[in-house]
Amino acid sequence: MGTDGRATAIGHLDADCFYVSAERVRDAFLMDKPVGVLGNQGACVIAKSYEMKGRGVRTGEPIWEAMEKCPDGIYIKRDFRWYEVLSRMMLDLMRDTSRQVEYYSIDEFFFRAEVGRGETFEGLAASLRDRIKKCVGVPVTVGIARTRTLAKLISDASKPYGARAVLGAAEEERLLADLPVTEIAGIAGRRAERLSAWGITTCLHLARADRALVRRLLTASGEALWWEINGDPVQAIHCRRPVHKTLSRGGSLGESTDEPVLLYAWLVRNVERLIEELRYHEVAAGRLKVIVMYKTGHTGLGQRALVVPSDRFDLLLEAARPCLRQAWARGATATHMHVIADELTPRGQSALAYFDPPERRIRAEAVARVKERINGKVGRFAIRSGATLHLPAIYADVANSYDICDIRDKTCF
List the alpha helices (DSSP H) in 108-258.
121-136, 148-157, 169-177, 189-196, 203-208, 211-229
Q: Which of 51, 50, 55 is nearest to 70 (CA)?
A: 55
CB-based contacts of 385: which residues, under 8 Å, 6+ apart? 268, 272, 313
| Selected catalytic residue, list 108, 172, 228, 277 | 108
Rounded distance between C-alpha atoms, residue 2 and residue 8, angstroms: 8
Sign of the CA dihedral running 118, 124, 130, 134: positive
Q: Which of 352, 281, 341 is nearest to 305 (CA)?
A: 341
- Is residue 167 a contact partner of residue 145, using CB atoms and an 8 Å limit? yes
Q: Is 174 exposed, middle or buried (0-12, 13-18, 19+ CB in 10 A)?
A: exposed
Q: Is 343 exposed, middle or buried (0-12, 13-18, 19+ CB in 10 A)?
A: middle
In the annotation, is 108 catalytic? yes
Q: Which residues carry out catalysis?
A: 108
